[in-house]
């Protein structure tokens, strides 16, 4: 069963920890990913650039609206994800609890499913 671990960061956290702190955090996350890969549960993993480099797109009544980041009204930012194959939700939650990012962010566990589900 596919599950996604969303790494949800407080805004500004990356700037606060600085370059060296960021490199250390990234190395921890890479090691975590390698462990998941060795277990055969990792489908995909990606880190996302800061929301300062993002853009939000909406189309309402045929009119397109773009808002460039950073998104000051945001209380959190998705910083990356792990896509896993797990037998159960409990297994996905157990993996999330061992994610290094759980020490400085929130790791949200979501099952993949159709949008009507």
CATH of residue 8: 3.30.70.1060
Q: What is the rounded CA–CA span in Å between residue 30 and residue 35?
A: 9
Q: Is the pLDDT of residue 72 over 80?
A: no
pTM of the prediction?
A: 0.90
Token pair in block for residue 113? 């499913």
User: Does 117 reside within a domain?
Assistant: no
- Domain count of the fold of the chain: 1
Q: Is the pLDDT of residue 30 over 90?
A: yes
Residue 26 parent element (H or E): helix 13-39
Coil, helix or strand at residue 28: helix
DSSP conformation class of 69:
S
For residue 81, give the nearest of 113, 112, 114, 39 by alpha carbon.
112
Domain that holds residue 56: 2-111
User: Does 116 reside within a domain?
Assistant: no
User: Does 25 reside within a domain?
Assistant: yes
Average pLDDT of the residues of the chain:
95
Q: What is the rounded CA–CA span in Å between residue 13 and residue 106?
A: 12
Mean pLDDT of all residues in 99-115: 96
User: Does 52 reside within a domain?
Assistant: yes
């Amino acid at each position: 069963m596919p599950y996604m671990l969303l790494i949800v960061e407080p805004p500004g956290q990356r700037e606060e920890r600085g370059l060296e702190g960021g490199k250390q955090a990234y190395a921890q996350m890479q090691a975590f990913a390698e462990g998941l890969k060795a277990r055969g549960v990792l489908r995909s993993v990606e880190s996302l650039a800061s929301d300062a480099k993002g853009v939000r797109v909406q189309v309402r009544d045929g009119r397109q609206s773009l808002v460039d980041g950073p998104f000051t009204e945001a209380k959190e930012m998705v910083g990356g994800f792990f896509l896993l194959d797990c037998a159960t939700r409990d297994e996905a939650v157990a993996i999330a609890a061992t994610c290094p990012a759980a020490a400085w962010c929130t790791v949200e566990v979501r099952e993949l499913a159709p949008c009507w589900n």
